[in-house]
Protein backbone atom coordinates (compact mmCIF):
# COMPACT_ATOMS: atom_id res chain seq x y z
CA UNK A 1 0.00 0.00 0.00
CA UNK A 2 1.28 3.43 -0.87
CA UNK A 3 0.41 6.38 1.33
CA UNK A 4 1.14 10.04 0.78
CA UNK A 5 0.26 13.39 2.27
CA UNK A 6 0.55 16.71 0.48
CA UNK A 7 1.45 19.81 2.50
CA UNK A 8 0.19 23.22 1.55
CA UNK A 9 3.79 24.44 1.70
CA UNK A 10 4.57 22.36 -1.39
CA UNK A 11 2.04 24.14 -3.57
CA UNK A 12 2.83 27.52 -5.06
CA UNK A 13 0.62 27.89 -8.14
CA UNK A 14 -2.79 29.47 -7.65
CA UNK A 15 -5.80 27.76 -9.14
CA UNK A 16 -7.44 30.00 -11.67
CA UNK A 17 -10.71 28.11 -11.85
CA UNK A 18 -12.85 29.44 -8.94
CA UNK A 19 -15.50 27.11 -7.58
CA UNK A 20 -17.69 27.91 -4.58
CA UNK A 21 -18.97 25.33 -2.10
CA UNK A 22 -22.56 24.14 -2.10
CA UNK A 23 -24.93 26.67 -0.57
CA UNK A 24 -22.37 29.43 -1.06
CA UNK A 25 -22.81 33.02 -2.13
CA UNK A 26 -25.36 33.69 -4.89
CA UNK A 27 -24.09 34.19 -8.42
CA UNK A 28 -23.01 37.72 -9.13
CA UNK A 29 -24.79 39.88 -11.64
CA UNK A 30 -22.14 40.33 -14.32
CA UNK A 31 -24.04 42.92 -16.34
CA UNK A 32 -22.80 46.48 -16.03
CA UNK A 33 -25.00 48.60 -13.70
CA UNK A 34 -27.02 51.35 -15.37
CA UNK A 35 -25.77 54.86 -14.80
CA UNK A 36 -28.09 56.82 -12.48
CA UNK A 37 -28.18 60.46 -11.57
CA UNK A 38 -27.35 61.02 -7.88
CA UNK A 39 -28.04 63.97 -5.62
CA UNK A 40 -24.37 64.84 -5.69
CA UNK A 41 -23.32 64.48 -9.33
CA UNK A 42 -19.73 65.08 -8.33
CA UNK A 43 -19.57 61.91 -6.20
CA UNK A 44 -17.65 59.00 -7.68
CA UNK A 45 -18.85 55.42 -7.00
CA UNK A 46 -15.81 53.49 -5.82
CA UNK A 47 -17.63 50.35 -4.68
CA UNK A 48 -16.38 47.10 -6.24
CA UNK A 49 -18.03 45.88 -9.42
CA UNK A 50 -20.20 42.75 -8.95
CA UNK A 51 -17.58 40.49 -10.59
CA UNK A 52 -14.92 41.86 -8.26
CA UNK A 53 -17.20 41.27 -5.27
CA UNK A 54 -17.71 37.67 -6.35
CA UNK A 55 -13.96 37.14 -6.78
CA UNK A 56 -13.28 38.60 -3.35
CA UNK A 57 -15.97 36.42 -1.75
CA UNK A 58 -14.58 33.28 -3.39
CA UNK A 59 -11.00 34.11 -2.43
CA UNK A 60 -12.13 34.71 1.15
CA UNK A 61 -13.99 31.41 1.15
CA UNK A 62 -10.89 29.57 -0.10
CA UNK A 63 -8.62 31.15 2.48
CA UNK A 64 -11.00 30.38 5.34
CA UNK A 65 -11.72 26.75 4.42
CA UNK A 66 -9.96 24.26 6.67
CA UNK A 67 -10.12 20.65 7.76
CA UNK A 68 -8.74 17.31 6.69
CA UNK A 69 -9.41 14.92 3.86
CA UNK A 70 -8.55 11.29 3.13
CA UNK A 71 -8.76 9.98 -0.46
CA UNK A 72 -8.54 6.39 -1.69
CA UNK A 73 -7.43 5.49 -5.22
CA UNK A 74 -7.35 1.97 -6.63
CA UNK A 75 -4.11 1.85 -8.58
CA UNK A 76 -0.68 3.46 -8.29
CA UNK A 77 -0.66 4.10 -12.05
CA UNK A 78 -2.88 7.11 -11.28
CA UNK A 79 -0.37 8.62 -8.85
CA UNK A 80 0.85 11.39 -11.16
CA UNK A 81 -2.66 12.53 -11.97
CA UNK A 82 -3.84 12.46 -8.37
CA UNK A 83 -0.77 14.36 -7.21
CA UNK A 84 -1.46 17.11 -9.75
CA UNK A 85 -5.12 17.41 -8.82
CA UNK A 86 -4.35 17.48 -5.09
CA UNK A 87 -1.68 20.14 -5.60
CA UNK A 88 -4.15 22.30 -7.51
CA UNK A 89 -6.74 21.83 -4.79
CA UNK A 90 -4.19 22.67 -2.09
CA UNK A 91 -3.26 25.85 -3.90
CA UNK A 92 -6.87 26.93 -3.60
CA UNK A 93 -7.48 25.57 -0.10
CA UNK A 94 -4.10 25.61 1.67
CA UNK A 95 -5.57 24.99 5.12
CA UNK A 96 -7.18 21.67 4.19
CA UNK A 97 -4.84 18.77 4.91
CA UNK A 98 -5.05 16.07 2.23
CA UNK A 99 -3.85 12.51 2.56
CA UNK A 100 -4.26 9.94 -0.18
CA UNK A 101 -3.74 6.21 -0.27
CA UNK A 102 -3.44 3.60 -2.99
CA UNK A 103 -5.00 0.17 -2.46
CA UNK A 104 -4.35 -3.07 -4.31
CA UNK A 105 -6.66 -3.04 -7.31
CA UNK A 106 -7.94 -6.60 -6.96
CA UNK A 107 -8.68 -6.04 -3.25
CA UNK A 108 -9.95 -2.49 -3.54
CA UNK A 109 -13.68 -3.02 -3.09
CA UNK A 110 -13.21 -5.59 -0.35
CA UNK A 111 -11.12 -3.10 1.59
CA UNK A 112 -13.55 -0.27 0.88
CA UNK A 113 -16.57 -2.29 2.03
CA UNK A 114 -14.78 -3.29 5.23
CA UNK A 115 -13.91 0.35 5.89
CA UNK A 116 -17.51 1.44 5.29
CA UNK A 117 -18.92 -1.28 7.53
CA UNK A 118 -16.54 -0.29 10.32
CA UNK A 119 -17.46 3.38 9.92
CA UNK A 120 -13.88 4.23 9.01
CA UNK A 121 -14.25 4.86 5.28
CA UNK A 122 -12.20 7.52 3.47
CA UNK A 123 -13.93 10.86 2.87
CA UNK A 124 -13.48 10.56 -0.89
CA UNK A 125 -12.90 7.36 -2.81
CA UNK A 126 -12.67 6.09 -6.37
CA UNK A 127 -15.45 4.03 -7.86
CA UNK A 128 -15.77 2.74 -11.40
CA UNK A 129 -19.24 4.22 -11.70
CA UNK A 130 -21.77 2.43 -13.83
CA UNK A 131 -19.04 0.42 -15.57
CA UNK A 132 -19.71 -2.25 -12.92
CA UNK A 133 -22.34 -2.82 -10.23
CA UNK A 134 -20.07 -1.71 -7.39
CA UNK A 135 -21.10 1.93 -7.20
CA UNK A 136 -24.81 1.13 -7.50
CA UNK A 137 -24.50 -1.31 -4.60
CA UNK A 138 -22.84 1.41 -2.52
CA UNK A 139 -25.67 3.78 -3.47
CA UNK A 140 -28.26 1.22 -2.38
CA UNK A 141 -26.43 0.82 0.91
CA UNK A 142 -26.56 4.59 1.47
CA UNK A 143 -22.76 4.84 1.55
CA UNK A 144 -22.37 7.30 -1.33
CA UNK A 145 -23.47 10.93 -1.28
CA UNK A 146 -25.62 12.32 -4.09
CA UNK A 147 -23.72 15.22 -5.66
CA UNK A 148 -26.28 16.81 -7.96
CA UNK A 149 -27.44 19.52 -5.53
CA UNK A 150 -24.04 21.19 -5.21
CA UNK A 151 -21.94 20.04 -8.18
CA UNK A 152 -21.45 22.14 -11.32
CA UNK A 153 -20.80 19.79 -14.25
CA UNK A 154 -21.14 22.27 -17.11
CA UNK A 155 -17.56 21.63 -18.25
CA UNK A 156 -18.01 17.85 -18.52
CA UNK A 157 -19.85 16.45 -21.57
CA UNK A 158 -23.11 14.59 -21.05
CA UNK A 159 -21.70 11.34 -22.44
CA UNK A 160 -18.92 11.50 -19.85
CA UNK A 161 -21.37 12.21 -17.01
CA UNK A 162 -23.36 9.04 -17.70
CA UNK A 163 -20.77 6.84 -16.01
CA UNK A 164 -21.21 8.74 -12.74
CA UNK A 165 -25.01 9.04 -12.85
CA UNK A 166 -27.66 6.63 -11.54
CA UNK A 167 -31.39 7.35 -11.97
CA UNK A 168 -30.69 11.00 -12.72
CA UNK A 169 -28.50 11.64 -9.67
CA UNK A 170 -24.77 12.21 -9.93
CA UNK A 171 -22.78 10.08 -7.48
CA UNK A 172 -19.26 10.50 -8.84
CA UNK A 173 -17.22 12.92 -10.92
CA UNK A 174 -15.88 11.33 -14.11
CA UNK A 175 -12.60 12.33 -15.70
CA UNK A 176 -12.50 13.83 -19.20
CA UNK A 177 -10.55 10.97 -20.67
CA UNK A 178 -11.28 7.65 -22.28
CA UNK A 179 -9.97 4.59 -20.53
CA UNK A 180 -9.03 2.59 -23.57
CA UNK A 181 -6.70 -0.27 -24.38
CA UNK A 182 -3.84 -0.56 -26.84
CA UNK A 183 -1.01 -2.74 -27.99
CA UNK A 184 2.14 -1.01 -26.80
CA UNK A 185 5.40 -1.85 -28.52
CA UNK A 186 9.09 -1.12 -28.22
CA UNK A 187 9.91 0.93 -31.30
CA UNK A 188 13.64 0.26 -31.00
CA UNK A 189 13.13 -3.52 -30.97
CA UNK A 190 10.85 -3.27 -33.99
CA UNK A 191 13.36 -1.11 -35.86
CA UNK A 192 16.35 -3.33 -35.03
CA UNK A 193 14.51 -6.38 -36.36
CA UNK A 194 12.89 -4.71 -39.35
CA UNK A 195 9.36 -5.32 -38.07
CA UNK A 196 6.42 -3.18 -39.10
CA UNK A 197 3.24 -2.70 -37.11
CA UNK A 198 0.73 -5.22 -38.51
CA UNK A 199 -1.86 -4.19 -41.06
CA UNK A 200 -4.21 -7.17 -40.55
CA UNK A 201 -5.05 -9.60 -37.76
CA UNK A 202 -3.26 -12.43 -39.57
CA UNK A 203 -0.12 -10.29 -39.76
CA UNK A 204 -0.36 -9.65 -36.01
CA UNK A 205 -0.59 -13.36 -35.20
CA UNK A 206 2.30 -14.13 -37.57
CA UNK A 207 4.36 -11.42 -35.85
CA UNK A 208 3.95 -13.16 -32.50
CA UNK A 209 5.76 -16.26 -33.74
CA UNK A 210 8.40 -14.14 -35.48
CA UNK A 211 9.14 -12.33 -32.24
CA UNK A 212 9.32 -15.56 -30.27
CA UNK A 213 11.74 -17.04 -32.82
CA UNK A 214 13.90 -13.91 -32.42
CA UNK A 215 14.22 -14.57 -28.69
CA UNK A 216 11.67 -12.09 -27.36
CA UNK A 217 8.52 -12.60 -25.33
CA UNK A 218 5.96 -11.32 -27.84
CA UNK A 219 3.42 -10.03 -25.27
CA UNK A 220 4.04 -9.26 -21.61
CA UNK A 221 0.95 -10.34 -19.68
CA UNK A 222 -0.13 -10.48 -16.04
CA UNK A 223 -2.32 -13.62 -15.71
CA UNK A 224 -3.05 -13.04 -12.03
CA UNK A 225 -5.15 -9.90 -12.33
CA UNK A 226 -8.66 -10.02 -13.75
CA UNK A 227 -8.26 -6.44 -14.93
CA UNK A 228 -4.93 -6.90 -16.68
CA UNK A 229 -6.42 -9.92 -18.44
CA UNK A 230 -9.47 -7.89 -19.44
CA UNK A 231 -7.35 -5.08 -20.91
CA UNK A 232 -5.55 -7.67 -23.04
CA UNK A 233 -8.65 -9.67 -23.94
CA UNK A 234 -10.82 -6.78 -25.18
CA UNK A 235 -8.46 -5.52 -27.93
CA UNK A 236 -7.86 -9.11 -29.03
CA UNK A 237 -11.62 -9.72 -29.15
CA UNK A 238 -12.27 -6.56 -31.19
CA UNK A 239 -9.67 -7.61 -33.77
CA UNK A 240 -10.58 -11.30 -33.75
CA UNK A 241 -14.21 -10.51 -34.63
CA UNK A 242 -14.93 -6.82 -35.19
CA UNK A 243 -18.51 -7.39 -36.37
CA UNK A 244 -19.35 -9.20 -33.16
CA UNK A 245 -17.70 -6.48 -31.08
CA UNK A 246 -19.72 -3.77 -32.84
CA UNK A 247 -22.89 -5.61 -31.81
CA UNK A 248 -22.09 -5.20 -28.13
CA UNK A 249 -23.11 -1.53 -28.34
CA UNK A 250 -26.83 -2.29 -28.74
CA UNK A 251 -26.78 -5.80 -27.25
CA UNK A 252 -27.67 -7.34 -30.59
CA UNK A 253 -25.04 -9.91 -29.63
CA UNK A 254 -24.53 -11.42 -26.19
CA UNK A 255 -21.44 -11.22 -24.05
CA UNK A 256 -21.17 -15.00 -24.04
CA UNK A 257 -21.68 -15.72 -27.74
CA UNK A 258 -19.28 -17.96 -29.65
CA UNK A 259 -16.91 -15.18 -30.87
CA UNK A 260 -16.25 -14.11 -27.27
CA UNK A 261 -15.39 -17.69 -26.33
CA UNK A 262 -13.28 -18.23 -29.44
CA UNK A 263 -11.23 -15.09 -28.83
CA UNK A 264 -10.40 -16.22 -25.30
CA UNK A 265 -9.46 -19.66 -26.60
CA UNK A 266 -7.21 -17.89 -29.11
CA UNK A 267 -5.35 -16.24 -26.24
CA UNK A 268 -5.04 -19.58 -24.43
CA UNK A 269 -3.58 -21.05 -27.61
CA UNK A 270 -1.05 -18.19 -27.65
CA UNK A 271 -0.17 -19.05 -24.06
CA UNK A 272 0.50 -22.68 -25.04
CA UNK A 273 2.75 -21.48 -27.87
CA UNK A 274 4.80 -19.35 -25.46
CA UNK A 275 3.67 -15.98 -26.80
CA UNK A 276 3.32 -14.67 -23.23
CA UNK A 277 6.60 -16.25 -22.17
CA UNK A 278 7.43 -19.86 -21.36
CA UNK A 279 6.73 -19.30 -17.68
CA UNK A 280 4.08 -16.59 -17.96
CA UNK A 281 1.99 -17.99 -15.09
CA UNK A 282 4.92 -17.07 -12.88
CA UNK A 283 4.43 -13.37 -13.64
CA UNK A 284 3.48 -12.23 -10.18
CA UNK A 285 1.57 -9.04 -10.80
CA UNK A 286 1.16 -5.90 -12.86
CA UNK A 287 4.53 -4.53 -11.76
CA UNK A 288 6.26 -7.64 -13.11
CA UNK A 289 4.33 -7.32 -16.37
CA UNK A 290 5.47 -3.71 -16.73
CA UNK A 291 9.09 -4.60 -15.93
CA UNK A 292 9.14 -7.43 -18.49
CA UNK A 293 8.07 -5.01 -21.18
CA UNK A 294 10.06 -1.92 -20.20
CA UNK A 295 13.28 -3.89 -19.74
CA UNK A 296 13.15 -5.05 -23.37
CA UNK A 297 12.47 -8.68 -22.54
CA UNK A 298 9.07 -8.42 -24.23
CA UNK A 299 8.45 -6.68 -27.53
CA UNK A 300 4.82 -5.74 -26.82
CA UNK A 301 2.30 -5.36 -24.02
CA UNK A 302 -1.49 -5.22 -24.20
CA UNK A 303 -2.63 -2.80 -21.53
CA UNK A 304 -4.78 0.18 -20.61
CA UNK A 305 -4.11 3.67 -21.93
CA UNK A 306 -3.26 4.87 -18.40
CA UNK A 307 -0.21 2.60 -18.34
CA UNK A 308 1.71 4.74 -20.85
CA UNK A 309 3.08 6.97 -18.10
CA UNK A 310 3.84 3.95 -15.93
CA UNK A 311 5.96 2.49 -18.74
CA UNK A 312 7.87 5.73 -19.20
CA UNK A 313 8.37 6.22 -15.46
CA UNK A 314 9.76 2.70 -15.28
CA UNK A 315 12.14 3.30 -18.19
CA UNK A 316 12.49 6.92 -19.35
CA UNK A 317 14.65 5.76 -22.28
CA UNK A 318 11.95 3.47 -23.65
CA UNK A 319 11.03 4.34 -27.24
CA UNK A 320 7.34 3.65 -26.72
CA UNK A 321 4.79 3.18 -29.47
CA UNK A 322 1.17 2.05 -29.57
CA UNK A 323 -1.31 0.73 -32.10
CA UNK A 324 -4.72 -0.90 -32.21
CA UNK A 325 -4.74 -4.51 -33.42
CA UNK A 326 -6.40 -4.57 -36.87
CA UNK A 327 -9.11 -7.04 -37.85
CA UNK A 328 -8.85 -9.43 -40.79
CA UNK A 329 -9.64 -6.62 -43.24
CA UNK A 330 -7.31 -4.08 -41.67
CA UNK A 331 -9.99 -2.15 -39.78
CA UNK A 332 -8.86 -0.83 -36.41
CA UNK A 333 -11.01 -0.09 -33.39
CA UNK A 334 -10.48 1.44 -29.98
CA UNK A 335 -12.22 -0.30 -27.08
CA UNK A 336 -12.87 2.06 -24.25
CA UNK A 337 -15.05 3.51 -21.54
CA UNK A 338 -15.24 6.96 -20.06
CA UNK A 339 -13.00 7.17 -17.02
CA UNK A 340 -14.69 7.55 -13.67
CA UNK A 341 -13.35 9.41 -10.68
CA UNK A 342 -14.31 10.03 -7.08
CA UNK A 343 -17.38 9.71 -4.90
CA UNK A 344 -18.01 11.11 -1.41
CA UNK A 345 -18.65 8.94 1.65
CA UNK A 346 -22.15 9.81 2.86
CA UNK A 347 -21.05 9.79 6.51
CA UNK A 348 -17.81 11.66 6.03
CA UNK A 349 -16.77 13.55 9.18
CA UNK A 350 -15.11 16.07 6.85
CA UNK A 351 -18.06 16.74 4.58
CA UNK A 352 -17.33 20.39 3.82
CA UNK A 353 -13.78 19.59 2.69
CA UNK A 354 -14.99 16.57 0.71
CA UNK A 355 -17.54 18.67 -1.16
CA UNK A 356 -14.95 21.31 -1.97
CA UNK A 357 -12.60 18.66 -3.34
CA UNK A 358 -15.28 17.03 -5.48
CA UNK A 359 -16.28 20.45 -6.83
CA UNK A 360 -12.68 21.16 -7.74
CA UNK A 361 -12.47 17.82 -9.58
CA UNK A 362 -15.26 19.03 -11.91
CA UNK A 363 -13.31 22.10 -13.05
CA UNK A 364 -11.47 22.26 -16.36
CA UNK A 365 -8.22 22.83 -14.50
CA UNK A 366 -8.52 19.61 -12.52
CA UNK A 367 -9.81 17.68 -15.54
CA UNK A 368 -6.83 18.81 -17.64
CA UNK A 369 -4.41 17.98 -14.83
CA UNK A 370 -5.79 14.44 -14.64
CA UNK A 371 -5.60 13.88 -18.39
CA UNK A 372 -2.07 15.31 -18.53
CA UNK A 373 -0.98 13.13 -15.63
CA UNK A 374 -2.19 10.05 -17.47
CA UNK A 375 -1.02 11.14 -20.89
CA UNK A 376 -4.55 10.09 -21.75
CA UNK A 377 -6.92 10.27 -24.69
CA UNK A 378 -9.30 13.16 -24.06
CA UNK A 379 -13.04 12.61 -24.23
CA UNK A 380 -13.83 16.30 -23.69
CA UNK A 381 -13.57 18.99 -26.42
CA UNK A 382 -12.46 21.46 -23.73
CA UNK A 383 -9.57 19.25 -22.59
CA UNK A 384 -6.50 18.38 -24.67
CA UNK A 385 -5.16 14.84 -24.91
CA UNK A 386 -2.25 14.40 -22.59
CA UNK A 387 0.58 13.13 -24.79
CA UNK A 388 1.82 12.15 -28.23
CA UNK A 389 1.32 8.48 -27.38
CA UNK A 390 -2.36 9.25 -26.76
CA UNK A 391 -2.60 10.20 -30.43
CA UNK A 392 -1.15 6.82 -31.45
CA UNK A 393 -3.60 5.03 -29.16
CA UNK A 394 -6.55 6.95 -30.61
CA UNK A 395 -5.48 6.37 -34.21
CA UNK A 396 -8.33 4.00 -35.06
CA UNK A 397 -11.13 3.70 -37.57
CA UNK A 398 -13.88 3.31 -34.97
CA UNK A 399 -14.62 2.84 -31.28
CA UNK A 400 -16.08 -0.21 -29.59
CA UNK A 401 -18.09 -0.81 -26.44
CA UNK A 402 -16.24 -2.59 -23.69
CA UNK A 403 -17.18 -6.27 -23.39
CA UNK A 404 -17.01 -5.99 -19.62
CA UNK A 405 -19.45 -3.06 -19.51
CA UNK A 406 -22.10 -5.32 -21.05
CA UNK A 407 -21.85 -7.54 -17.98
CA UNK A 408 -22.99 -4.63 -15.82
CA UNK A 409 -25.58 -3.13 -18.14
CA UNK A 410 -27.43 -6.29 -19.17
CA UNK A 411 -27.33 -8.54 -16.12
CA UNK A 412 -30.47 -10.00 -14.58
CA UNK A 413 -31.96 -8.16 -11.62
CA UNK A 414 -30.30 -9.25 -8.42
CA UNK A 415 -27.38 -10.96 -10.17
CA UNK A 416 -23.77 -9.83 -10.57
CA UNK A 417 -21.97 -10.99 -13.70
CA UNK A 418 -19.10 -8.60 -13.04
CA UNK A 419 -18.22 -10.45 -9.84
CA UNK A 420 -18.15 -13.76 -11.71
CA UNK A 421 -15.78 -12.24 -14.25
CA UNK A 422 -13.55 -10.75 -11.54
CA UNK A 423 -13.37 -14.00 -9.58
CA UNK A 424 -12.94 -16.50 -12.39
CA UNK A 425 -11.19 -15.17 -15.48
CA UNK A 426 -7.80 -15.81 -13.87
CA UNK A 427 -8.90 -19.42 -13.32
CA UNK A 428 -9.35 -19.83 -17.07
CA UNK A 429 -5.77 -18.80 -17.76
CA UNK A 430 -4.42 -21.01 -14.97
CA UNK A 431 -6.41 -23.94 -16.43
CA UNK A 432 -8.50 -24.36 -13.27
CA UNK A 433 -11.59 -23.65 -15.35
CA UNK A 434 -12.45 -24.11 -19.01
CA UNK A 435 -13.49 -21.26 -21.26
CA UNK A 436 -16.96 -22.74 -21.64
CA UNK A 437 -17.39 -23.13 -17.89
CA UNK A 438 -16.45 -19.49 -17.45
CA UNK A 439 -18.84 -18.19 -20.10
CA UNK A 440 -21.65 -20.57 -19.15
CA UNK A 441 -21.77 -19.27 -15.58
CA UNK A 442 -21.90 -15.71 -16.87
CA UNK A 443 -24.57 -16.60 -19.43
CA UNK A 444 -26.80 -17.95 -16.66
CA UNK A 445 -27.13 -14.52 -15.01
CA UNK A 446 -27.40 -12.35 -18.14
CA UNK A 447 -30.56 -11.00 -19.70
329-385 tens-digit pLDDT: 999 999 988 899 999 999 999 999 999 999 999 999 999 999 999 889 998 999 999
Supply the pLDDT for residue 64: 65
Instruction: Give the C-alpha separation, 39 to 41, whole Å.
Output: 6
Calculate mean pLDDT across residues 6-24.
28
* Domain membership of residue 224 as a residue range: 178-336+387-443
Last residue within a domain, chosen from 374, 400, 430: 374
CA 227 to chain CA centroid, nearest Å: 12
Least confidently predicted of 99-108, 204-213, 288-297, 437-446? 99-108
Supply the pLDDT for residue 336: 84
Supply the pLDDT for residue 354: 97
Q: Which residues pair with 144 in a beta bridge?
A: 345
Task: Confirm whether 111 is domain-assigned.
Answer: yes
Q: What is the pLDDT of residues 78-110, one digit of tens each?
A: 999 999 999 999 999 999 999 999 998 889 999
More reliable by pLDDT, 212 or 130: 212
Q: What is the pLDDT of residues 154-205, one digit of tens each?
A: 999 998 899 999 999 999 999 999 989 999 999 999 999 999 999 999 999 9
Task: Collapse the DSSP code of 350 into the 3-class scheme (helix H, G, I; strand E, B; otherwise coil) and give the result.
Answer: coil
Same domain, 281 and 252: yes
Q: How confident is the model at residue 19 (pLDDT cuts 50, 70, 90)?
A: very low
Statement: residue 44 has pLDDT above 60: no
Nearest to 184 by CA among 332, 325, 302, 294: 302
Calculate mean pLDDT across residues 20-38.
30
Q: What is the mean pLDDT of the chain?
A: 87
Same domain, 169 and 201: no
Rg (alpha carbons) of the chain, rounded to whole number = 24
Same domain, 86 and 199: no
Statement: residue 11 has pLDDT above 60: no
Nearest to 28 by CA among 62, 52, 7: 52
Supply the pLDDT for residue 159: 84
Statement: residue 149 has pLDDT above 50: yes
Per-range mean pLDDT, top range of 50-54, 272-276, 370-374 = 272-276
Task: Confirm whether 30 is domain-assigned.
Answer: no
The domain total for the chain is 2
More reliable by pLDDT, 65 or 167: 167
Same domain, 322 and 297: yes
Q: Which residues pair with 320 in a beta bridge?
A: 186
Same domain, 94 and 135: yes
Same domain, 439 and 328: yes
Residue 206 sits in a domain of what CATH number? Answer: 3.40.190.10
Supply the pLDDT for residue 156: 93
CA 236 to chain CA centroid, nearest Å: 20
Same domain, 233 and 344: no
Task: Collapse the DSSP code of 102 into the 3-class scheme (helix H, G, I; strand E, B; otherwise coil) and give the result.
Answer: strand
For the chain, helix, strand, coil in percent to 5 are 45, 15, 40
Amino acid sequence: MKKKAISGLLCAALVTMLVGCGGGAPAANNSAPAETETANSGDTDTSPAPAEEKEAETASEASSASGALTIWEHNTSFEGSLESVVEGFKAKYPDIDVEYEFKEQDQYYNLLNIAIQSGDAPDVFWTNGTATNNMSELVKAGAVLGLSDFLDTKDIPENCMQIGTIDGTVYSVPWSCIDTRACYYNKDIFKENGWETPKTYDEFVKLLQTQKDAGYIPISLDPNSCWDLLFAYEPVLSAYDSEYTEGLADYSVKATDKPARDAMNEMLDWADKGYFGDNYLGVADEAAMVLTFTSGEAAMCLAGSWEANTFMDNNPNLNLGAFQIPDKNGKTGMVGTNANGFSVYSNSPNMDAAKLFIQYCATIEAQQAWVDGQGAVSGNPNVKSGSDIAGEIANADTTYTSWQSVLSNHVKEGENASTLFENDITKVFSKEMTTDEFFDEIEAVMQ
